Amino acid sequence: MARSLNFRQLEAFRAVMLTGGMTPAGKLLFISQPAVTRLIRDLEADLGLALFVRRHTQLVATEEAHRLYREVERYFSGGDRIREVARTLRETRDGQLHIGAMPNLVATCLPGVVSRFLLDYPNVVVSIHSDSSTNLMAMLLHGQLDLALAIPPDTLPDLEHDVFAPMEAVCIIPPAHALAQHRVINVTDLHQQDFVSLGVHSTLRMRLNALMHELNVQPRVRLETAHSSTVAAYVREGVGVAVVDSFAAMGPGSEGLVVRPLKPDIAVRFCALYRHSKQALPMARAFAVTLRDALDEGKHHLSQAMSS
Protein backbone atom coordinates (compact mmCIF):
# COMPACT_ATOMS: atom_id res chain seq x y z
CA MET A 1 0.00 0.00 0.00
CA ALA A 2 1.35 3.44 -0.92
CA ARG A 3 2.35 5.53 2.05
CA SER A 4 0.93 8.98 2.66
CA LEU A 5 2.86 11.88 1.19
CA ASN A 6 5.12 13.71 3.60
CA PHE A 7 3.94 17.28 4.25
CA ARG A 8 7.52 18.54 4.59
CA GLN A 9 8.34 17.15 1.13
CA LEU A 10 5.39 18.99 -0.40
CA GLU A 11 6.38 22.17 1.44
CA ALA A 12 9.92 21.91 0.03
CA PHE A 13 8.60 21.24 -3.47
CA ARG A 14 6.32 24.28 -3.31
CA ALA A 15 9.18 26.46 -2.03
CA VAL A 16 11.44 25.40 -4.92
CA MET A 17 8.69 26.11 -7.45
CA LEU A 18 8.11 29.54 -5.93
CA THR A 19 11.75 30.57 -5.63
CA GLY A 20 13.31 28.73 -8.57
CA GLY A 21 16.12 27.03 -6.68
CA MET A 22 17.15 24.81 -3.79
CA THR A 23 19.14 27.48 -1.95
CA PRO A 24 16.44 30.21 -1.98
CA ALA A 25 13.86 27.56 -1.06
CA GLY A 26 15.98 26.65 1.98
CA LYS A 27 16.09 30.30 3.03
CA LEU A 28 12.29 30.53 2.64
CA LEU A 29 11.82 27.47 4.87
CA PHE A 30 14.73 28.28 7.26
CA ILE A 31 16.49 25.00 6.48
CA SER A 32 19.72 24.17 4.65
CA GLN A 33 20.05 23.65 0.90
CA PRO A 34 21.09 19.98 1.37
CA ALA A 35 17.96 19.40 3.46
CA VAL A 36 15.78 20.79 0.64
CA THR A 37 17.61 18.63 -1.91
CA ARG A 38 17.04 15.53 0.21
CA LEU A 39 13.32 16.29 0.61
CA ILE A 40 12.90 16.76 -3.15
CA ARG A 41 14.76 13.51 -3.91
CA ASP A 42 12.58 11.62 -1.43
CA LEU A 43 9.44 13.13 -2.99
CA GLU A 44 10.59 12.15 -6.49
CA ALA A 45 11.23 8.60 -5.26
CA ASP A 46 7.84 8.37 -3.55
CA LEU A 47 6.01 9.67 -6.65
CA GLY A 48 8.16 7.93 -9.25
CA LEU A 49 8.54 11.22 -11.11
CA ALA A 50 11.43 13.44 -12.12
CA LEU A 51 10.40 16.89 -10.95
CA PHE A 52 13.53 18.95 -11.69
CA VAL A 53 16.44 18.69 -14.12
CA ARG A 54 19.73 20.60 -14.27
CA ARG A 55 20.52 22.60 -17.39
CA HIS A 56 24.02 23.95 -16.92
CA THR A 57 23.72 25.84 -13.62
CA GLN A 58 19.95 26.34 -13.82
CA LEU A 59 17.36 24.16 -12.08
CA VAL A 60 14.37 23.62 -14.41
CA ALA A 61 10.99 22.22 -13.39
CA THR A 62 9.67 19.43 -15.61
CA GLU A 63 6.19 19.42 -17.14
CA GLU A 64 5.16 16.92 -14.47
CA ALA A 65 6.35 19.33 -11.79
CA HIS A 66 4.21 22.16 -13.20
CA ARG A 67 1.14 19.94 -13.28
CA LEU A 68 1.81 18.68 -9.76
CA TYR A 69 2.37 22.23 -8.52
CA ARG A 70 -1.16 23.26 -9.49
CA GLU A 71 -2.56 20.53 -7.24
CA VAL A 72 -0.13 21.24 -4.42
CA GLU A 73 -1.03 24.94 -4.52
CA ARG A 74 -4.72 24.07 -4.16
CA TYR A 75 -3.81 21.95 -1.14
CA PHE A 76 -1.85 24.77 0.51
CA SER A 77 -4.51 27.35 -0.40
CA GLY A 78 -7.08 25.23 1.39
CA GLY A 79 -4.87 25.11 4.45
CA ASP A 80 -4.34 28.87 4.33
CA ARG A 81 -8.10 29.34 4.07
CA ILE A 82 -8.69 27.15 7.13
CA ARG A 83 -6.13 29.16 9.11
CA GLU A 84 -7.79 32.42 8.01
CA VAL A 85 -11.23 31.20 9.12
CA ALA A 86 -9.77 30.10 12.46
CA ARG A 87 -8.13 33.51 12.91
CA THR A 88 -11.44 35.21 12.15
CA LEU A 89 -13.26 33.04 14.68
CA ARG A 90 -10.66 33.91 17.33
CA GLU A 91 -10.63 37.65 16.70
CA THR A 92 -14.30 38.41 16.02
CA ARG A 93 -17.36 37.75 18.10
CA ASP A 94 -19.83 37.72 15.22
CA GLY A 95 -17.88 35.73 12.62
CA GLN A 96 -18.10 36.19 8.86
CA LEU A 97 -20.80 37.11 6.39
CA HIS A 98 -20.26 35.50 2.99
CA ILE A 99 -21.90 37.53 0.23
CA GLY A 100 -22.09 36.71 -3.45
CA ALA A 101 -23.03 39.43 -5.91
CA MET A 102 -23.17 40.17 -9.61
CA PRO A 103 -20.02 41.91 -10.92
CA ASN A 104 -21.87 45.15 -11.69
CA LEU A 105 -22.97 45.43 -8.06
CA VAL A 106 -19.51 44.57 -6.73
CA ALA A 107 -17.87 47.25 -8.87
CA THR A 108 -20.36 50.03 -8.15
CA CYS A 109 -22.64 49.89 -5.11
CA LEU A 110 -21.14 47.39 -2.70
CA PRO A 111 -18.02 49.27 -1.48
CA GLY A 112 -20.15 52.02 0.03
CA VAL A 113 -22.72 49.54 1.34
CA VAL A 114 -20.06 47.44 3.07
CA SER A 115 -18.63 50.57 4.69
CA ARG A 116 -22.05 51.54 6.07
CA PHE A 117 -22.82 48.00 7.21
CA LEU A 118 -19.57 47.68 9.17
CA LEU A 119 -20.42 50.78 11.19
CA ASP A 120 -23.30 48.79 12.69
CA TYR A 121 -21.47 45.43 12.70
CA PRO A 122 -17.85 46.30 13.57
CA ASN A 123 -17.03 42.73 14.64
CA VAL A 124 -18.10 41.05 11.40
CA VAL A 125 -15.72 40.15 8.60
CA VAL A 126 -17.44 40.52 5.21
CA SER A 127 -16.35 38.24 2.38
CA ILE A 128 -17.41 39.25 -1.16
CA HIS A 129 -17.54 36.82 -4.08
CA SER A 130 -18.28 38.11 -7.58
CA ASP A 131 -19.87 35.74 -10.10
CA SER A 132 -22.79 35.22 -12.46
CA SER A 133 -26.29 34.88 -11.03
CA THR A 134 -26.43 31.20 -12.01
CA ASN A 135 -23.21 30.38 -10.18
CA LEU A 136 -24.21 32.45 -7.14
CA MET A 137 -27.45 30.50 -6.82
CA ALA A 138 -25.54 27.22 -6.93
CA MET A 139 -23.09 28.43 -4.28
CA LEU A 140 -25.95 29.51 -2.01
CA LEU A 141 -27.70 26.14 -2.35
CA HIS A 142 -24.42 24.39 -1.47
CA GLY A 143 -23.99 26.49 1.67
CA GLN A 144 -21.00 28.47 0.40
CA LEU A 145 -22.76 31.84 0.72
CA ASP A 146 -24.98 33.43 3.36
CA LEU A 147 -26.45 35.95 0.93
CA ALA A 148 -26.69 36.03 -2.85
CA LEU A 149 -27.52 39.25 -4.69
CA ALA A 150 -28.56 37.92 -8.06
CA ILE A 151 -31.05 37.95 -10.90
CA PRO A 152 -33.33 35.06 -9.91
CA PRO A 153 -34.58 32.31 -12.24
CA ASP A 154 -38.23 32.38 -13.29
CA THR A 155 -38.99 29.77 -10.62
CA LEU A 156 -37.28 30.51 -7.33
CA PRO A 157 -36.06 27.55 -5.27
CA ASP A 158 -37.30 27.16 -1.71
CA LEU A 159 -35.18 29.95 -0.28
CA GLU A 160 -35.98 32.95 1.81
CA HIS A 161 -35.66 36.02 -0.37
CA ASP A 162 -36.48 39.69 -0.72
CA VAL A 163 -37.21 41.27 -4.09
CA PHE A 164 -35.65 44.67 -4.81
CA ALA A 165 -37.38 47.35 -6.86
CA PRO A 166 -36.59 46.90 -10.59
CA MET A 167 -33.57 48.79 -11.89
CA GLU A 168 -34.24 50.43 -15.24
CA ALA A 169 -31.84 50.24 -18.15
CA VAL A 170 -30.45 53.63 -19.23
CA CYS A 171 -28.39 54.98 -22.10
CA ILE A 172 -24.98 56.51 -21.37
CA ILE A 173 -23.59 58.94 -23.94
CA PRO A 174 -20.42 61.03 -24.44
CA PRO A 175 -21.22 64.71 -23.73
CA ALA A 176 -20.31 65.82 -27.28
CA HIS A 177 -22.45 63.15 -28.97
CA ALA A 178 -25.57 64.26 -30.90
CA LEU A 179 -27.81 61.98 -28.80
CA ALA A 180 -26.77 63.88 -25.67
CA GLN A 181 -29.25 66.58 -26.72
CA HIS A 182 -32.18 64.14 -26.44
CA ARG A 183 -34.13 64.12 -23.18
CA VAL A 184 -35.13 60.49 -23.71
CA ILE A 185 -33.44 57.86 -25.89
CA ASN A 186 -35.72 55.61 -27.86
CA VAL A 187 -34.27 52.27 -28.92
CA THR A 188 -34.84 53.34 -32.54
CA ASP A 189 -32.43 56.26 -31.94
CA LEU A 190 -29.63 53.70 -31.67
CA HIS A 191 -29.97 52.57 -35.29
CA GLN A 192 -26.58 52.86 -37.06
CA GLN A 193 -25.01 54.50 -34.01
CA ASP A 194 -21.55 53.37 -32.83
CA PHE A 195 -22.38 51.12 -29.90
CA VAL A 196 -20.62 49.51 -26.93
CA SER A 197 -22.35 46.22 -26.22
CA LEU A 198 -22.49 44.02 -23.15
CA GLY A 199 -21.24 40.42 -23.40
CA VAL A 200 -23.28 37.63 -24.91
CA HIS A 201 -24.22 36.18 -21.50
CA SER A 202 -25.75 39.43 -20.23
CA THR A 203 -29.48 39.22 -19.51
CA LEU A 204 -29.82 42.91 -20.35
CA ARG A 205 -28.12 42.41 -23.72
CA MET A 206 -30.45 39.50 -24.55
CA ARG A 207 -33.52 41.59 -23.80
CA LEU A 208 -32.16 44.62 -25.66
CA ASN A 209 -31.27 42.49 -28.69
CA ALA A 210 -34.79 41.04 -28.77
CA LEU A 211 -36.25 44.54 -28.69
CA MET A 212 -33.89 45.78 -31.40
CA HIS A 213 -34.76 42.80 -33.59
CA GLU A 214 -38.46 43.52 -33.16
CA LEU A 215 -37.97 47.18 -34.11
CA ASN A 216 -35.41 46.43 -36.89
CA VAL A 217 -32.74 48.49 -35.11
CA GLN A 218 -29.13 47.76 -36.07
CA PRO A 219 -26.46 49.69 -34.17
CA ARG A 220 -22.83 49.53 -35.27
CA VAL A 221 -21.30 47.41 -32.50
CA ARG A 222 -17.72 48.60 -32.05
CA LEU A 223 -16.88 46.80 -28.83
CA GLU A 224 -18.19 44.05 -26.57
CA THR A 225 -17.31 43.94 -22.87
CA ALA A 226 -18.42 41.40 -20.30
CA HIS A 227 -19.55 43.66 -17.44
CA SER A 228 -21.61 46.83 -17.41
CA SER A 229 -19.25 48.34 -14.83
CA THR A 230 -16.53 48.60 -17.52
CA VAL A 231 -18.68 50.08 -20.29
CA ALA A 232 -18.49 53.70 -19.14
CA ALA A 233 -14.73 53.93 -19.71
CA TYR A 234 -15.17 53.04 -23.38
CA VAL A 235 -18.10 55.41 -23.80
CA ARG A 236 -16.01 58.21 -22.27
CA GLU A 237 -13.31 57.56 -24.88
CA GLY A 238 -15.85 58.01 -27.66
CA VAL A 239 -16.05 54.36 -28.76
CA GLY A 240 -19.83 54.61 -28.85
CA VAL A 241 -23.00 54.96 -26.80
CA ALA A 242 -24.22 52.13 -24.57
CA VAL A 243 -27.22 50.74 -22.73
CA VAL A 244 -26.45 49.65 -19.17
CA ASP A 245 -28.32 48.88 -15.97
CA SER A 246 -28.79 51.58 -13.37
CA PHE A 247 -26.06 50.06 -11.16
CA ALA A 248 -23.42 50.98 -13.73
CA ALA A 249 -24.87 54.46 -14.24
CA MET A 250 -24.70 55.07 -10.48
CA GLY A 251 -21.05 54.09 -10.30
CA PRO A 252 -18.15 56.55 -10.20
CA GLY A 253 -17.08 55.46 -13.69
CA SER A 254 -20.07 57.18 -15.27
CA GLU A 255 -19.18 60.64 -13.96
CA GLY A 256 -18.99 63.17 -16.78
CA LEU A 257 -21.22 61.13 -19.09
CA VAL A 258 -24.75 62.00 -20.12
CA VAL A 259 -27.31 59.55 -18.77
CA ARG A 260 -30.75 59.34 -20.36
CA PRO A 261 -33.85 57.17 -19.82
CA LEU A 262 -34.37 54.43 -22.39
CA LYS A 263 -37.73 53.75 -24.03
CA PRO A 264 -39.35 51.26 -24.21
CA ASP A 265 -38.47 50.42 -20.63
CA ILE A 266 -36.24 47.46 -19.87
CA ALA A 267 -36.33 46.63 -16.16
CA VAL A 268 -33.68 44.50 -14.48
CA ARG A 269 -34.98 42.77 -11.35
CA PHE A 270 -32.85 41.11 -8.73
CA CYS A 271 -33.25 39.55 -5.31
CA ALA A 272 -31.50 39.09 -2.03
CA LEU A 273 -31.55 35.33 -1.39
CA TYR A 274 -30.63 33.91 2.00
CA ARG A 275 -29.11 30.70 3.31
CA HIS A 276 -30.87 29.16 6.29
CA SER A 277 -28.48 29.98 9.12
CA LYS A 278 -29.47 31.02 12.63
CA GLN A 279 -26.30 33.11 13.03
CA ALA A 280 -25.88 34.57 9.56
CA LEU A 281 -29.50 35.24 8.53
CA PRO A 282 -30.06 38.38 10.70
CA MET A 283 -26.78 39.90 9.44
CA ALA A 284 -27.61 39.00 5.83
CA ARG A 285 -31.01 40.68 6.12
CA ALA A 286 -29.41 43.74 7.70
CA PHE A 287 -26.94 43.94 4.82
CA ALA A 288 -29.80 43.71 2.30
CA VAL A 289 -31.58 46.59 4.07
CA THR A 290 -28.41 48.69 3.91
CA LEU A 291 -28.12 47.91 0.19
CA ARG A 292 -31.77 48.83 -0.41
CA ASP A 293 -31.27 52.20 1.28
CA ALA A 294 -28.15 52.90 -0.80
CA LEU A 295 -29.94 51.95 -4.04
CA ASP A 296 -32.87 54.23 -3.18
CA GLU A 297 -30.44 57.12 -2.69
CA GLY A 298 -28.59 56.24 -5.88
CA LYS A 299 -31.79 56.07 -7.93
CA HIS A 300 -32.80 59.50 -6.60
CA HIS A 301 -29.47 61.04 -7.63
CA LEU A 302 -29.63 59.26 -10.99
CA SER A 303 -33.13 60.58 -11.62
CA GLN A 304 -31.91 64.12 -10.94
CA ALA A 305 -28.96 63.62 -13.30
CA MET A 306 -31.19 62.35 -16.11
CA SER A 307 -33.53 65.32 -15.78
CA SER A 308 -30.73 67.93 -15.90
Average per-residue pLDDT for the chain: 85
- Going by pLDDT thresholds of 50, 70 and 90, the confidence category of residue 1 is very low
- Going by pLDDT thresholds of 50, 70 and 90, the confidence category of residue 163 is confident
> Is the N-terminal amide bond of 34 cis, ω within 30° of 0?
no
pLDDT tens-digit map of 200-215:
878 888 899 999 999 9
pLDDT tens-digit map of 53-108:
988 888 899 988 888 888 888 887 766 666 665 665 555 445 788 999 988 888 88
Walk me through the domains of the chain, giving residue ranges and CATH numbers: 7-72 (1.10.10.10), 93-165+269-306 (3.40.190.10), 167-267 (3.40.190.10)
Whether the per-residue pLDDT at 131 is higher than 90: the answer is no
pLDDT tens-digit map of 142-153:
888 899 998 877
What pLDDT is stored for residue 286 in this prediction? Answer: 92
